[in-house]
Chains A and B, each alone.
Chain A
Amino acid sequence: MMRPSFLRRALAATALAAIGIAAIGVAAMPAAQAQSVLKVLIDGNVTTVDPVVTTESMAIQHGFMVYDQLFALDAQSRPQPQMVASYERSADGLKWRFVLRDGLKFHDGSPVEAKDVVPSLRRGAARKASGAALFRHVEAVEAIDARSFELRLSRPFGPVLEMMADPLNALFVMRAADASTDPARPLTTSIGSGPFRFVQEGWKPGDRAVYVKNPDYVPRAEPPSAMAGGKVVKVDRVEFSHIPDATTSAQALMSGEVDVLVFPQLALMQVLERAPGVEVQMLNPIGEQGILRVNHLVPPFNNPKARQALLYLLGNQTDHLAAIVRLPKLQKPCWAVFGCGTPLENTAGIGDWAKGTDVEKAKALLREAGYDGRPIVIIDPPSNDRIHAMSLVTAQKLRQAGVTVDVQAMDIGAWASRRNERGDPKTTPNGWHIFHTHGKMISQGDPLANSAAVATCDGKNWVGWPCDEDLQKQLEAYAFVAPEGRAAWVQSYQARFFQALPYVPVGQFLLPTASRAVVSGLLPVQGYPVMWNVQKR
């Protein structure tokens, strides 16, 4: 038997050891920071600093910190000059001449000149939908002098400025040397002329990307309006990081360890709304569009009737939207192809399916399409809660219509690759029939940037490979439609869209941004939140 004194000592030592590490850790609180540092949780890690080579949202957010655009969209989605001081368009609309603002400088001190702009436009156009749409009609782009450049078109392409101002497919201006790099090869340094400088040595992929205020940046005189206007930086330093765990992200914001959570998990919204010191804002009033994409090359969805059956299963979209965002205030049922709350919103071609789910009608259309009972493969990445929710609801609705469904779960990497498989799942092991995704409405609502709408019959369009020559001809015609003719254009286009159905819109949903109450000045934008104008008290 041990003596009680030894027992006491042993227990005391155990307790002390347990408390020891915690006690050391608690010993001191962090020193007050002299600088104004804004800590922002974005929706992924900044793994590439080249915003041209990828369409990843993190690279785009990085791009808007470091680089600048020639034009930028204001709160009314109108393109406004940003790096450009003035521009003129020839009477026939074929020649555009632009003059850069005075005093623009790259972060290495070199001036921004027209010789930098020309290759930047070319590089951007090689990778970005908007730039590509513009450059299909560009005969030449040339530097005239240090501050002027000229764009010569083969046809009077209408939305030149809109393409230059696109916030998701931004044509950022880089140094000529960087802009001359093959657009298939990611840049490893990031020297722009934007309002923040990228701290290369502070970039720890998987941890954080660091930006400091660019003291040489000369903001425009106009007040900020979405992506346009004066980009006045009001903090010394911004740190982008990412926490993969949604609960930890919310806890980090609630405990004040981070200042802004760009896209909190929607399941945690009510917790954040009730948390003291936290504010939830709807920065993007039009949000995102859910997309149901089928493989147009394989039965049954190579038959338009089978695709139309999906319309009757989705009905008024509320089941899908409720699964994606739960809170009714974040749901925006909308069958308009180019979105609701956008300039092209309209009701042409929207049939009786929009009233509500009609399983019997869907069954009849599937029968007419010759559906033979084969299992319909839905590929689903559960790690993306929005896509996962849409996948499960679609699967359930298909089952209600008597369809055999095979939901195949996989990680996001496998899902992204798997979508490139064209073969019939009946004979090809990696084949698929349906996947879901979602895109920002600002891009989905633009006929020239909406990749899902492209229905070329060359098999080179986006996965799913819809083919409809008439629809595609109409889509391409949009670039030459005068602004006053766009309402008529979209009526005709949308009517045809619902017959051909390159994709099924699943409605719109809003993604709020959460921040500490000490943070103010987050600008309403239709793309990703921007960090200029943001203040931290």
Chain B
Amino acid sequence: MLRYILKRLLMVVPVMGVVTVVVFVLSRVGPGDPVTIMLGEFATAEQIARTRTALGLDLPLPAQYFAWLAQTLQGNLGLSLFTRKPVLELIAQSAAPTVLLTLCAMVYAVLVAVPLGVLAAARAGSLVDRAVMAGAVLGFSTPVFVLGYILAYVFGLRLGLLPVQGFPGLEAGPVAVLRALTLPALAIGATFVALIARVTRASMLEVLNEDYIRTARAKGLRRPVVLLVHALKNAAVPVVTMIGIGFGILLSGVVVTESVFAIPGIGRLTVDAIFRRDFPVIQGVVLVMSAVYVLLNLLVDLSYMLFDPRIRY
């Protein structure tokens, strides 16, 4: 297994190499100039040229790329063009809200979706099954911002129970953090409840038709034991894959949720950087998120061994 892990990790190197080139080229070839944005509405061409020189943006693109690559290989992702803060510091600062939001959303999604999926499969064709599947379609089809506004209106404005926006910072303590993340987690988690419930149901239905399930039933095992111990474990591989992909999607795709709920996470950092053409931040975030995505995929692959003893690396 160690050999497999090392092999997979080695494969990360060329992937990241390609990522550096792609993200550098994409961020530079598009229209937009950070200096024009930085200097504001009425800057003259002369002022723009001076600032471009001061920030090293007048160098040829290959020179800029290799300079960035050299410092990246030393673990330094450079400085934001605007804040002049280290990109790594900005990413670290934004990572906490995003990671916590992702975890909350996924825990909520799994806790709700897996039982619902099992239930729907166990009662396939019944009213319960149809209700669960209809709920899944609704959850998947409702845009996160619509659900976000509804939740904020009901729980924030009408009932006054939860904040409608913001992230208080880890220093505010777990209760304040959970309060801030509850509504966004419910909003973004809805899609994953729908997805995981559907995948769980489909996978369970497949497993429930297997001979070993019939054997387990014939042995007189109680229905819950058959469902949760025998069937669910064997149906778990696609569900775990879905959860793993979901983590990746959530970590890198919470832009809308973070915007609606004003959470200063990776999504907002990325969008702000793109709007401002803050090249070092765009490059740094994409690089780090790509690495996280690759590592998450590796972890998901390794986790298959826990659920299916036939899988060995």
Contact = CB atoms under 8 A, between A and B. Distances in A.
A26 B162 contact: yes
Given A21-B108, A414-B30, A416-B32, A254 B157 contact: yes
Contact of A25 (B37, B83, B179): B179
A417 interface: yes
B262 A186 contact: no
A140 interface: no
A55 B152 CA distance: 35
B122 A2 contact: yes
B165 interface: yes
Interface string A255-274: 10100000000000000000
A222 to B, nearest CB: 32
B-side interface mostly: helix
A206 B115 contact: no
Most B Cβ at <10 Å: residue of A3, A13, A206, A419: A206
B269 interface: yes
Contacts of B227: 2
A461 B44 CA distance: 6
Contact of A21 (B104, B160, B167, B268): B104
A499 interface: no
Interface in B136-162: 149, 152-153, 155-157, 160-162
A53 B41 CA distance: 12
A460 B94 CA distance: 40
Contact of A420 (B45, B180, B259): B45
A207 B166 CA distance: 8
A13 B115 CA distance: 8
B301 to A, nearest CB: 27
Interface stretch (B4-12, B48-56, B236-244, B289-297): B48-56
A56 interface: yes
Interface residues of B, number: 82
A251 B166 CA distance: 12
B185 interface: yes
B310 interface: no
A48 B82 contact: yes
Contact of A206 (B31, B94, B152, B162): B94
Nearest to B38: A54
A28 B175 contact: yes
Contacts of A452: 42
A364 interface: no
A11 interface: yes
Interface stretch (A149-157, A242-250, A468-476): A242-250
A341 B119 CA distance: 70
Contact of B264 (A127, A204, A418): A204
Nearest to B163: A257
A205 B82 CA distance: 10
Most B Cβ at <10 Å: residue of A13, A243, A410, A418: A243
B156 A21 contact: no
A456 to B, nearest CB: 10
B119 A21 contact: no
Contact of A14 (B119, B185, B268): B119
Contacts of B48: 420
A536 B119 CA distance: 53
A451 B44 CA distance: 9
Contact of A186 (B44, B82, B111): B82
B38 A462 contact: no
Nearest to A256: B160
A252 interface: yes
B300 interface: no
A245 B108 contact: no
Contacts of A414: 30-32
Interface in A1-41: 2-3, 6-7, 10-11, 13-14, 17-18, 20-22, 24-28, 30
B223 A186 contact: no
A302 interface: no
Contacts of B269: 206
Nearest to B151: A22
Given A6-B224, A14-B115, A185 B175 contact: no
Interface string B25-48: 000001111101111111111111
Nearest to A60: B40
Contacts of A419: 36
Contacts of A6: 223-224
Given A184-B50, A411-B32, A25 B182 contact: yes
Nearest to B45: A460
B275 A412 contact: yes
B261 interface: yes
Interface in A158-206: 182, 184-186, 188, 204-206
A7 B127 CA distance: 13
B162 to A, nearest CB: 6
A450 to B, nearest CB: 9
B223 A3 contact: yes
Contacts of B107: 21
Nearest to A437: B41
B65 to A, nearest CB: 20
B216 interface: no
B156 A251 contact: yes
Contacts of B182: 21-22, 24-26
Most A Cβ at <10 Å: residue of B48, B166, B185: B166
Nearest to B40: A55
Contacts of B219: none
B262 A21 contact: no
A54 B262 contact: no
A26 B179 CA distance: 6
A80 interface: no
A411 B275 contact: yes
A251 B157 contact: yes
A53 B38 contact: yes
B123 interface: yes
A129 interface: yes
B186 interface: yes
B54 to A, nearest CB: 4
B234 interface: no
Given A17-B112, A25-B178, A26-B179, A252 B82 contact: no
A14 B112 contact: yes
Contacts of A188: 83-85
Interface in A23-76: 24-28, 30, 45, 47-48, 53-56
B245 interface: no
A245 B260 contact: yes
A475 B95 CA distance: 52
Interface string B75-108: 0000010111100001001100000000010011
B276 interface: yes
A420 B175 CA distance: 50
A255 B160 contact: yes
A111 B287 CA distance: 46
Rank and list the top 5 A-B pairs by shortest CB-CB distance, nearest first.
A55-B40, A25-B182, A207-B264, A17-B111, A451-B42
5 contacts: A21-B107, A186-B84, A241-B262, A245-B259, A460-B45
Interface of A: 2-3, 6-7, 10-11, 13-14, 17-18, 20-22, 24-28, 30, 45, 47-48, 53-56, 127, 129, 182, 184-186, 188, 204-208, 241-245, 247-248, 251-252, 254-255, 257, 383, 410-414, 416-420, 430, 437, 439, 451-452, 460-462
Given A25-B179, A56-B40, 12 more contacts: A2-B224, A11-B119, A25-B175, A25-B180, A26-B161, A47-B82, A184-B50, A185-B55, A251-B164, A252-B262, A255-B164, A417-B36
